[in-house]
Amino acid sequence: MQPTDIRKPDYFHKVVDCQWACPAHTQVPRYIRMIASGRYDDAYLLNWDSNVFPGILGRTCDRPCEPACRRGRVEENNGADVDKSRPEPVAICRLKRVAADNRSEDIEQRMRERLPDPVPGAERFRVACVGAGPSSLAVARDLAPLGYQVTVFEADAKGGGFMRTQVPRFRLPEHVIDEEVGYIFGLGVEFVGNRRIDSMRKLLDENYDAIFVGSGAPRGRDLHAPGRDEAAANIHLGIEWLASVYFGHVKSVGKRVIVLGGGNTAMDCCRSARRLGGDEVKVIVRSGYEEMKASPWEKEDAEHEGVKIINWLNPKSFVHENGKLTGMWFTPMRAEHDANGKRKLLPTGEPDRLIECDEVLIAVGQENAFPWIERDLGLEFDEWGLPKLDKLTLQSTNRKVFFGGDAAFGPKNIIWAVEHGHQAAASIHNLLQGEDVRQRPPPMTNLISQKMGIHEWSYDNDISVDERFVVPWAPKEKTLTNIHQEVELGFDVATAWKEAQRCLNCDVQTVFTKDICIECDACVDVCPMDCISFTTDGDEAELRERLTAPALNLAQDLYIGGPVKTGRVMAKDEDVCLHCGLCAERCPTGAWDMRKFLFAESYAGRGEDYSAKPAHKKVAA
């Protein structure tokens, strides 16, 4: 195998599984260390730089980082009772919330101190953002400090988009949205509320230098089945119903509620229904439990609140008595995989089932809708009605118009919307500066030894054996009777510290220098995870089989160093490395070193790490 070229930023970035998995590439281990050392403001601002909404995301993020977290892999087949203990990632998302919960009052001041310098002449340019959801707000956050005049248009009175109107208050209190949306508007962004943009042509006529469309995927998909129209009074589209709950138009729901759909919107619907009078709330899904789109924890939370999830039932028709909904017929389904492994749902042939109910919430998906964009503006749409975009720049076929968030590629989530915002902002910045829109400054990377003494490192390399801590909840009697009562109370500082200690510091990399290795095997012997081997070279597939411990997780790279003096190679399986640094502690020559890898994505107008601005070097850690 070729020796690994660790100069390529992607190599070590990939080892930081959480950061690699985060669409916005948030520097997770770094902010977790900040939380552990009580530097909540720094942790908050590091998050704020990458994901713009630490308080909101600390409660609602889809957390792609957590399934990726190495901790979840290393705990496998470990623990006192192997059968009972379940491998769990670090509670990254909830730690983010700890940073938000404990940030200081003057955070906005500290935020401003760390903003990038304005770009001379940027104030000449006007940028319009359509919709005040996360992607638009991220564009505004990135562009306003550079000096651009950014105007955000929003049909509702307040900013926040679906974060405000669709995410229920028991998951995300309104003050959190107010604060974090407020920070952005406080950067000199003009907010125009209660103004729905109903014509792209008119907007273009207003001569903005660039337009960003972050209007979401605002249309709930309907279910056209017999009885739908007759019983319409008791059937609602999930996202519209959630918005009505938010605005206070809906204050109660029938006792027996069926929620159709298996995504996170369905989970928000069923849990809201439980709080508005739904005693018997059932989520009914066409497919199996495992393949539901809802995050596992959201399913658990719903079930914890007494919601029943019923799988493998396909809605067939609505039953009503003179327009009053009384139930629904379902056809039992099963999955069949064809020769190509593609799954098809087929009826099992069992008799249909009638499930009685008073109200149905349809949460079977969302659709994009751009009735307000005239089709003769040079802005092309594809066969699914989505804008034709450059995947990197998010630029449409009208060079002035960019898309992001759910409006770009269909429904995703907040963190993806934020990342779209970053990319669109970078594109807009390039466009307005007359540069190639596709150009991206390289990420800022750095690799610094953490050695402080013979056996001392500037990170805590003592590996905690604690299992994941559970976030405390408000009592059910409270949460199920008051839809505004937040369910999760967040970690207290002491528990947060313990949870933070579970982080393996995957950004502190094991770096191997072949020329000073004496092949004493000390690293091989001490490695608690049997990650390191010195062996004859071979091709990857064969090499993976014959290492000290077989390296069977192909998603994780082998780090190849060498050839060493005997002609062998050093092969380290990155998969379950604890980053404990014992290899480096036991290495007599310093051929192993623990070096902190910093990877910071470059946002609009900046090619450097945000919190390592020269004037604020003290923040870097």
| Residues at the contact surface with other proteins, assessed by CB under 8 A | 73-78, 455-456, 461-463, 465, 518-522, 524-526, 528-531, 549-550, 552, 565-566, 576, 578, 580, 582, 585-589
Contacts of 100 (CB under 8 A, 6+ apart): 44, 47, 54, 55, 58, 176
Closest CB 549 distance from other proteins, rounded Å: 4
Query: Distances from the Cα of 145 to the Cαs of 120, 186, 282, 420, in angstroms?
Result: 11, 10, 47, 18
- Residue 229, amino acid: D
> How many other CB atoms are found less than 10 A from the CB of residue 249?
10
CB-nearer residue toward other proteins: 456 or 542 = 456
Q: At its nearest, how many Å lie between other proteins and the CB of residue 505?
A: 13
Tokens for 81, please give them. 């009772």
CA 547 vs CA 3, 317, 543: distances in Å: 16, 58, 7
Cβ-based nearer residue to other proteins, 78 or 446:
78
Q: In the complex, what is the shortest distance from the CB of residue 520 to other proteins, in angstroms, rounded to a whole number?
A: 4
Q: Write 561-564 long-range contacts (CB < 8 A, 24+).
A: 561/3, 561/4, 561/512, 561/513, 561/514, 561/517, 562/3, 562/514, 562/537, 563/514, 563/537, 564/514, 564/517, 564/519, 564/534
Q: Residue 230 CB, nearest distance to other proteins (Å)?
A: 56
What distance in Å separates the CA atoms of residue 182 and residue 174, rounded to the nearest whole number?
12
Rounded distance between C-alpha atoms, residue 59 and residue 380, angstroms = 36
Nearer to other proteins, 373 or 576 (CB): 576
Nearer to other proteins, 302 or 576 (CB): 576
Q: How far is the CB of 78 from other proteins (least distance, A)?
A: 5
The torsion region of residue 244 among left (phi > 0), alpha (psi -120 to 50) and beta comes to: alpha
How near is the Cβ of 306 to other proteins at its closest, in Å?
36
Question: Cβ closer to other proteins: 383 or 462?
Answer: 462
Name the helix (H) or strand (E) containing 240.
helix 238-247
Cα distances from 445 to residues 12, 115, 355, 451, 553, in angstroms, run: 10, 19, 57, 19, 26
Residue 5 beta carbon to other proteins: minimum distance, rounded to whole angstroms? 27
Q: Which is nearer to other proteins, 42 or 575 (CB)?
A: 575
Quick one: 217 or 508, whose CB is closer to other proteins? 508
Neighbours of 516 (CB within 10 A): 13
Rounded to the nearest whole angstrom, what is the least distance from the CB of residue 509 to other proteins in the complex? 18
* Least Å from the CB of residue 102 to other proteins: 29
Phi, psi of 97 (to 5 degrees): -65, -35
User: For residues 60 and 533, which CB has a smaller minimum distance to other proteins in the complex?
Assistant: 533
With tokens 């009052």, the residue in question is: 105
- Is 494 buried (19+), middle (13-18) or exposed (0-12) by CB count in 10 A? exposed
Partners of 449 in the beta sheet?
595
CB of 337 to other proteins, least distance (A): 28
Q: How far apart are CB 578 and other proteins at their closest, in Å?
A: 6
Q: What is the DSSP string of 302-346?
A: HHHTT-EEE-SEEEEEEEEETTEEEEEEEEEEEEEE-TTS-EEEE
Using the minimum distance from each CB to other proteins, give the nearer residue, 138 or 584: 584
Smallest separation, CB 528 to other proteins (Å): 5
Residue 129 CA from chain centroid, whole number: 22
- 3-class secondary structure, 620: coil
Instruction: Pick the closer one to other proteins by CB: 355 or 529.
Output: 529
Please state the closest distance from residue 566 (CB atom) to other proteins, in A.
6
Q: By the 8 A CB rule, do 184 and 140 touch?
A: yes
CA distance 46 to 28: 9
* DSSP string across 192-212: E-S-----HHHHHHTT-SEEE
Q: Which is nearer to other proteins, 255 or 586 (CB)?
A: 586
With respect to other proteins, which residue has the nearer C-beta, 78 or 513?
A: 78
3-state secondary structure of 366: strand
- In whole angstroms, the minimum distance from the beta carbon of 35 to other proteins comes to 22
Q: How far is the CB of 79 from other proteins (least distance, A)?
A: 9
The set of residues, in sequence order, having a beta carbon less than 8 Å from that of 119 and lying 6+ positions away, is: 146, 147, 429, 433, 605
Q: Which is nearer to other proteins, 107 or 520 (CB)?
A: 520
Considering the complex, state which of residue 428 and residue 591 has its C-beta at the smaller distance from other proteins: 591
Cis peptide before 563 (omega within 30 of 0): yes
Tokens for 117?
A: 């310098």
Q: What is the largest CA-CA distance in the chain?
A: 87
For other proteins, which is the closer residue by CB, 571 or 582? 582
Query: By the 8 A CB rule, do 546 and 573 touch?
Result: no
Q: At closest approach, how far in Å is the CB of 588 from other proteins? A: 3
Q: In what order do the strands lie in the sheet with 569-573?
A: 532-535, 569-573, 558-561
Which lies closer to other proteins via its Cβ, residue 99 or residue 569? 569
